[in-house]
Amino acid sequence: MIAARLIFAYLRDRPLSAFLFALLTAIGVAAAAALTLFAAQSEARLTRDARHIDLVVGHKGSPLQLVLSAVFHADVPTGNLPYAEAERLQRDRRVLAAVPIAMGDSVRGVRIIGAPNALFDLYDARITRGRAPQAPFEAALGAQAARQLGLDVGATFVGAHGLGDGGGAHDAHPYRVVGVLSETGAALDRLAVTPHESVWTLHPPATAGATLQVEHHDHAHADDAAPLRDPQSETTAILVRTRSPLFALSLKQEINAATPYMAARPAEETSRFFALIGQGAAALQAFAALLIAAAALATFATLLTALRAQRGDIALLRVMGATRLTVFAVLLGQGLAIAAFGALIGLALGHGAIEIFARVSPQAQGFGLTGFAFAPEEWIILAGALVAGALAALAPALAAYRTDIARTLSEAA
């Protein structure tokens, strides 16, 4: 193809400027790609984390905070509620499982969750090594948590107060790892699970007043085989899986209207959360688009200058038998090639940045980031960069198309 060879020849003729303008495009594309990857992968992670849970019940406060703390384990809890509410909820016919979880401690970034072993069923997790915890201060580690802590069955660890590093250590009560859980892809992978009694021992609860006033439709269904516990003991939140998503809606309305507690649907809060951070992401995306546009503008300027320098060449090409369309394609192709080259570099840079971020930053690990995955939106970025390159080259290409050869020749002579 004659035009393709000429495009290559012209780019090779001034490699530095072609490379610089490609790099300019690359910076814009890299920013857009990294943002897109981050948004897509964190959203996928949050959706995966919340997959098993239809409803969260907790102390009144911000529903988003409740979901963030109890489902994604990314925020501090809203407060406590009586443990008994979990048992009452479990008796509701619409509920498949209601699992109370108690939070408050962590070990080197891994949260220690007080929960009955029903939590494993909720997340469809199995014990791959060892057994499920049965006594206080026995713990089962999520697959990722075990890797992160470097602990296996038989090891011991000491919990620290609080959810981040730097809390006071509970040295008097070390935990013993009795089991490691299978990989679920959900938040459970990043947790250490222990019976509620451990948490109660470390954090004696204040007496709670209120009780959950859920209207029970079928008391005959109630399963009262619950083990004997201190009825005043508290838990932090209750994770609920309903028999149908519709039940989650009705149950949520009932709890919010008729009890002093709060129910929130992770799916709803996640989408609200993304609507919220989506605005910030949109601003950053706009900035990335601006970078790409600036690159296109610079390409436009350089092609226009190049056109002036190449006028003699264009006339000569036409004299040698090139059609108008060929010289048009040669000019347009230069813009497209610069944009395409820049976009490819940019995608590589964007993916590289995400991969490095994922490896370097511990916070990023919670989002499950990787540079080795593609988001469908990246095609849009690629197309956008190419369109920008084509637009930048369009005016010079049209000028080349319309060049009056006879006049250019008389001027050149």
Partner 1 sequence: MLPFEFDAVFAIPRRWRKPHALPRSRVIYYNTPVLTLDSLEIRLGPQRRLQPPDWSLPAGATALLVGPSGSGKSTLLNVAAGLLAPAAGRVLVDGVDIAALKPAARDRFRGARIGVVFQSLRLVQALSVADNLALALALAGRKPDPARIRDTLARLGLAALARRRPRALSIGEMQRAAIARAVIARPTLILADEPTSALDDANAEAAFALLRAEAQACGASLLIATHDARLTAHGLPTLTLAGPP
Applying CB under 8 A, the residues found at the interface with partner 1 are: 2, 5-6, 9-10, 12-13, 310, 312-313, 315-325, 405-406, 409-410, 412-413
Give the Cα separation of 309 and 214 in Å (integer): 81
Minimum distance from residue 308 beta carbon to partner 1 (Å): 13
Least gap, CB of 339 to partner 1 (angstroms): 20
Structure tokens at 34: 């990294």
CB of 343 to partner 1, least distance (A): 24
Q: How far apart are CA 260 and CA 179, in angstroms?
A: 37
CB 55 within 8 Å of CB 248: yes
Q: How far is CA 95 from CA 47, 92, 98, 116, 320, in A?
A: 21, 5, 7, 17, 81
* Tokens found for residue 120: 């494993």
Contacts of 111 (CB under 8 A, 6+ apart): 73, 103, 105, 163, 190, 191, 192
* Pick 124 or 404: Cβ nearer partner 1: 404
- 371: helix, strand or coil: coil
Closer residue to partner 1 in complex, CB, 178/322: 322
Distance between CA atoms of 382 and 117, rounded to whole angstroms?
Answer: 48
Shortest distance, position 329 Cβ to partner 1, whole Å: 13
User: Nearest distance from residue 349's CB to partner 1, in Å?
Assistant: 29
Helix %, strand %, coil % of the chain (to 5): 55, 15, 30
* Straight-line distance from the first to the last Cα atom of the chain, in angstroms, rounded to the nearest whole number: 30
In whole angstroms, how close is the CB of 310 to partner 1 at the nearest point?
8
Q: Are 118 and 225 in contact (CB under 8 A)?
A: no
Specify the residue, 285 or 403, whose C-beta has the smaller distance to partner 1.
Answer: 403
Q: Considering beta carbons, is residue 204 or 312 the nearer one to partner 1?
A: 312
Cβ nearer to partner 1, comparing 13 with 218? 13
Closer CB to partner 1, residue 325 or residue 383? 325
Closest CB to partner 1 among residues 30, 303: 303
> Is 13 or 124 the residue whose CB approaches partner 1 more closely?
13
Residue 373 or residue 405: which is nearer to partner 1 going by CB?
Answer: 405
- Residue 281 CB, shortest distance to partner 1, in Å, is 43
Taking the complex as a whole, the smallest distance from the CB of residue 2 to partner 1 amounts, in Å, to 5
- HSE-up (13 A, CA, CB side) for residue 243: 7
Measuring CA to CA, how many Å separate 251 from each of 47, 89, 118, 244? 21, 10, 21, 11
CB 403 within 8 A of CB 327: yes
Kindly state the smallest distance separating residue 327's Cβ from partner 1, in Å.
Answer: 10
What 3-state DSSP class applies to 403? coil
Give min distance, CB of 306 to partner 1, in A: 10
Alpha helices by DSSP H, 51-97: 63-70, 84-91
User: Helix (H, G, I), strand (E, B), or coil: what is residue 127?
Assistant: strand
User: Which CB, 20 or 293, lies closer to partner 1?
Assistant: 20
How many angstroms separate the CA atoms of 323 and 318, rounded? 6
Classify residue 187 by its DSSP letter: G
